[in-house]
C-alpha cells in the first residue's frame, strides 16, 4: 500500500503544482491560449464542469457535488480493490495514479467549481477542440493498468 500511496500523493501534488503554474503564473485563464509547439501542443484554458469531453456537465451545484461524490466513491472502491493485491506493484501504481488524479480533480471542483483543463493536442489539419490535464492522463493510464494487470478473477 506504500507504493499506492506514493503514486497517489505524487500524482496529486504534481497535477496541482502544474495547475497552479498554469493559472497563477502563466495566467492562462486570462490569456486563454499559449502556443507551446503548435499545432501539436498548446495550452488552451478550459473549465470542465462535467466528465471527459464535458459529458454530464451541468451548471448546477447538485451536478458538481454528484461528480465529487462519484469520484470519491470510485477512489475508495479502487483503494479497496488494490488492497487485495498488495504485492502487485503495477496494480498499486495504477491505482495510485487513478486515485491521485481523481482526488486532484475533486479539489479543482471544490476550489473552482470545475476542473481546470489546459493541455490541447492536435495534428496539422485537425483542430482538437478539447483540453485535458495531467490528472486526466493519470486516471486514463491508471485505469488501463488496472484493466490489464490486475490478477483478480475477472469473471462475474
| Other CB atoms within 10 A of residue 130 CB | 15
Sort 121 into a burial class: Cβ within 10 Å, 0-12 / 13-18 / 19+. middle
List, in order, residues 6 or more apart from 10 with CB less than 8 Å away: 96, 100
| CA 5 – CA 143 distance, rounded (Å) | 16
| pLDDT of res. 47 | 93
Contact 107, 68 (CB under 8 A): no
List, in order, residues 6 or more apart from 144 with CB less than 8 Å away: 94
Residues 43, 19, 65: CA angle, nearest 5 degrees = 110
| pLDDT of res. 49 | 84
Catalytic residue positions, numbered: 117, 136
The model's pTM:
0.88
In tens digits, what is the pLDDT along the chain, a chain of 156 residues?
899 999 999 999 999 999 999 999 999 999 999 999 988 999 999 998 876 545 555 567 788 888 999 999 999 999 999 999 889 999 999 999 999 999 999 999 999 999 999 999 999 989 888 999 999 999 999 999 999 998 865 544
Q: Which three cell numbers stand for residue 112?
A: 473552482
Amino acid at each position: 500500500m506504500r507504493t499506492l500511496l506514493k503514486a497517489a500523493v505524487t500524482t496529486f501534488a504534481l497535477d496541482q503544482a502544474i495547475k497552479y503554474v498554469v493559472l497563477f503564473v502563466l495566467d492562462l485563464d486570462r490569456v486563454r491560449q499559449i502556443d507551446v509547439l503548435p499545432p501539436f501542443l498548446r495550452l488552451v484554458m478550459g473549465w470542465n464542469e462535467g466528465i471527459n469531453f464535458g459529458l454530464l456537465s451541468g451548471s448546477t451545484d447538485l451536478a458538481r457535488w454528484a461528480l465529487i461524490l462519484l469520484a470519491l466513491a470510485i477512489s475508495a472502491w479502487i483503494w479497496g480493490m488494490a488492497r487485495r493485491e498488495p504485492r502487485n506493484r503495477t496494480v498499486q501504481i495504477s491505482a495510485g495514479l487513478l486515485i491521485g488524479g481523481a482526488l486532484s480533480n475533486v479539489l479543482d471542483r471544490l476550489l473552482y467549481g470545475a476542473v481546470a483543463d489546459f493541455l490541447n493536442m492536435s495534428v496539422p489539419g485537425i483542430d482538437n477542440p478539447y483540453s485535458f490535464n495531467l490528472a486526466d492522463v493519470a486516471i486514463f493510464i491508471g485505469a488501463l493498468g488496472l484493466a490489464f494487470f490486475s490478477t483478480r478473477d475477472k469473471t462475474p
